[in-house]
């Protein structure tokens, strides 16, 4: 049994704790939060209001960090110094030196570390990456990715809305799409961006030039109560692969449309892909658990790719 401790029982923990609990070979031994009222939803594990005490009183294989962004690096380093493997919510940190310190600690302590960049484990995004790599629809020409929503209204002492704590729209939201681009295509050759940041409003658009193709992206925290909407359109020579409100669709040059992850077919389906449409939050935790269990390197999320992403985001601050 892998023994897991989760620190931070706010919003995103709801995508972590139940997923750990779905795994037969994992036991969530304890959860930690400075607000005890957050424990109600997790009655099974032991409850701690103090992280040091939780580490002292239990043996863990994995600590899972679901804390606000500004605490990620220091809590990861503390757990790794006790010889515990760490998986952390994104972003890894706001500063590049914290990334270096995290990986230095992991190496020195001979433990594994992974930041859970969920799009790397998201079936629809993996599908696009595989289309690019196989060339099944020809070369990639252009892409659009968007991640839109309203300004964060409620969080633990409003940390989301404080630049020095969350990094605002670049580090909190746009990071997902940029991280996917770097994961799938490597570092862009160049980029331009525009940002409108006002009280209660933050909007960023960025265009990444990869030489053979370019990618437009948008991220928003609108003041308006705009419902969260993420998606993409990738224009290949022979097809458009789109994730929109009706899910993933491939529109090909012959006028056919197919739903490759559900197997649903419009007129014809020439796609060879048969990827499972799983839950990215489960997939990322399962991947890390397997790396720990089988003592395999965490190859899917590398320090170099995270540094590339952070370097670009820091120019958008
Ligand atoms: N991957 C995704 O799709 C995704 C989505 C949402 C949030 N996130 C990330 O998850 C992280 C957490 O976001 P959230 O929305 O859950 O935040 P949140 O504010 O809802 O929850 C954070 C929790 O941490 C607790 N906490 C704060 N300081 C603590 C301490 N010193 N010790 C123990 N507990 C402490 C708070 O009481 C709170 O319950 C952020 O970094 C965010 O960027 C990722």
Residue nearest to atom 41 of ligand 1 (CA): 69
Res 268: pLDDT:
37
Q: Output the ligand 1 site: residues, CB below 6 A.
A: 7-13, 32-35, 38, 51, 66-69, 71, 89-90, 118, 155-156, 172
Read off the pLDDT of residues 187-212 as tens digits, 9 standing for 90 and up: 999 999 999 999 999 999 999 999 99
Task: Indicate whether 106 and 136 sit together in one domain.
Answer: no
Query: According to DSSP H, which parts of 86-240 are helical?
Result: 96-109, 123-134, 163-166, 168-169, 175-185
Q: What is the CATH number of the domain that holds 21?
A: 3.40.50.720
Residue nearest to atom 7 of ligand 1 (CA): 12
136 occurs within a structural domain: yes
Task: Indicate whether 158 and 22 sit together in one domain.
Answer: no
Q: How far is the CA of 8 from the centre of ligand 1 (A)?
A: 6
Q: How far is the CA of 103 from the centre of ligand 1 (A)?
A: 22
pLDDT of 298 > 90? The answer is yes
Read off the pLDDT of residues 271-283 as tens digits, 9 standing for 90 and up: 334 344 458 999 9
Task: Indicate whether 95 and 170 sit together in one domain.
Answer: no
Q: What is the CATH number of the domain that holds 194?
A: 3.30.360.10
The structure tokens 């609108």 sit at: 222
The residue range of the domain holding 184 is 120-278
Read off the pLDDT of residues 100-151 as tens digits, 9 standing for 90 and up: 999 999 999 999 999 999 999 999 999 999 999 999 999 999 999 999 999 9
What mean pLDDT do residues 248-259 have?
A: 94
**8 A C-beta contact, residue 6 and residue 64:** yes
**8 A C-beta contact, residue 237 and residue 224:** no
185 occurs within a structural domain: yes
Res 193: pLDDT:
98
What mean pLDDT do residues 72-89 have?
A: 98
What's the number of domains the chain is made of?
2
Task: Indicate whether 199 and 98 sit together in one domain.
Answer: no
Task: Indicate whether 125 and 274 sit together in one domain.
Answer: yes
List the strands of the sheet with 229-236, edge to edge: 190-198, 201-209, 214-221, 140-148, 229-236, 239-244, 247-252, 257-259, 264-265
Residue nearest to atom 6 of ligand 1 (CA): 12
| Best CA proximity match to 69, nearest among 107, 95, 45, 46 | 95
pTM of the predicted model as reported, rounded to 2 decimal places: 0.95
312 occurs within a structural domain: no
């Amino acid at each position: 049994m892998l023994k897991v401790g989760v620190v931070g029982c706010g919003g995103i923990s709801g995508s972590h704790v139940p997923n750990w609990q779905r795994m037969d070979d994992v036991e969530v031994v304890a959860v930690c939060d400075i607000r005890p009222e957050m424990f109600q939803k997790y009655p099974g594990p032991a409850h701690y209001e103090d992280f040091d005490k939780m580490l002292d009183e239990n043996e863990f294989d994995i600590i899972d960090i679901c804390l606000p962004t500004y605490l990620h690096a220091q809590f990861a380093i503390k757990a790794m110094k006790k010889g515990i493997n760490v998986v952390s919510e994104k972003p890894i940190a706001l500063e590049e030196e914290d990334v270096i310190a995290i990986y230095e600690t992991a190496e020195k302590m001979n433990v594994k570390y992974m930041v859970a960049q969920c799009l790397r484990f998201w079936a629809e995004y993996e599908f696009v990456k595989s289309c690019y790599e196989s060339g099944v629809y020809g070369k990639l020409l252009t892409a659009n990715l968007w991640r839109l929503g309203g300004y964060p209204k409620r969080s633990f002492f409003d940390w989301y809305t404080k630049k020095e704590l969350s990094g605002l729209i670049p580090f909190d939201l746009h990071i997902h799409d940029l991280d996917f681009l770097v994961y799938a295509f490597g570092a862009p050759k160049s980029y331009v961006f525009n940002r409108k940041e006002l009280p209660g409003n933050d909007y960023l658009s960025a265009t990444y030039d990869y030489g053979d193709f370019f990618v437009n992206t948008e991220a928003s925290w609108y003041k308006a109560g705009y419902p969260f909407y993420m998606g993409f359109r990738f224009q290949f020579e022979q097809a458009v692969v789109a994730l929109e409100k009706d899910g993933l669709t491939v529109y090909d040059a012959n006028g056919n449309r197919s739903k490759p992850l559900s197997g649903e077919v419009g007129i014809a389906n020439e796609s060879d892909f048969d990827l499972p449409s799983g839950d990215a939050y489960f997939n990322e935790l399962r991947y890390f658990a397997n790396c720990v269990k089988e003592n395999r390197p965490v190859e899917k999320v590398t320090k170099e790719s995270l540094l590339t992403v952070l370097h670009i985001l820091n120019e958008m601050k």
